[in-house]
Amino acid sequence: MEKMFTYEDYQSTAEWLLSHTKHRPQVAVICGSGLGGLADKVTQAQAFEYSEIPNFPQSTVPGHAGRLVFGFLNGRACVVMQGRFHFYEGYPLWKVTFPVRVFRLMGVDTLVVTNAAGGLNPKFEVGDIMLIHDHINMLGFSGQNPLRGPNDERFGPRFPAVSDAYDCNLRQKAHCAWKQMGEQRELQEGTYVMVGGPNFETVAECRLLLNLGADAVGMSTVPEVIVARHCGLRVFGFSLITNKVIMSYETIEKANHEEVLESGRKAAQKLEQFVSILMANIPPSDNAI
């Protein structure tokens, strides 16, 4: 088994980044599949390949560029992860979530998580944006948790609460931002469920997840959110509904990754505008270090 990162490992990566950029981000954004175009909107941008950064894992999934981009989004100092890491790539969850604690040590106070997800809720259409107001951690039910192992109190408590994981104030601001955009479809809100992947779900699994109270399903996000809340970051998250899950054995269509990336491309402009407006409305956090 690989040796887990120590506090000093996180610190050395944070210090490396702080010494290689003049940017001091307040907000970190993690881009999901096909959503990395947001990084192209960053002004005064300075980018690092993941391979350059000490201790950083590598992203291996199509639609994930594998770059860390520092700069400004609509005037807000930010760092954008153009590509994330996944459990299904073979990474342990403590490695999947490595960047989150690094961002915390760099002075970030707010984490924005985005993902591409399958719509379970029958009211959802492809191209909808769903604000995440809660999650179901299927990996956690099987004992897979990024906080498993020794706890370092310098990051957070042994038993953190996640009942308020997704910031209510930021969700309200997101609804205001959406109204400003004048979109025809309403902004959705719901519960995201994480499964391990990399296969898409069976019909029986989709029916089960819907009955559990989930509105959208994906293969990421939850580990980063757990670690972010553990170390005191405020979290805002949304899913782009890139496909409707298969709920019937009579359905001929199958879910595929190309469809996910294509939906991301089509929704890119809307998403970039949405995040841009939202950035201007993010207040400083009480937890800023």
**Catalytic annotation, residues:** 33, 64, 86, 88-89, 116, 219-220, 243, 257
How large is the angle between the packed helices 98-105 and 7-20, nearest 10 degrees?
A: 60
CB 13 within 8 A of CB 100: no
120: number of Cβ within 10 Å: 26
**Closest to 156 in 3D by CA, of 147, 143, 145:** 147
How large is the angle between the packed helices 222-230 and 98-105, nearest 10 degrees?
A: 30
Element holding 231 (H helix, E strand): none
> Distance between alpha carbon 1 and the CA centroid of its chain, in Å?
26
- The tokens describing 189, both together, are 């809100």
CB 252 within 8 A of CB 54: no
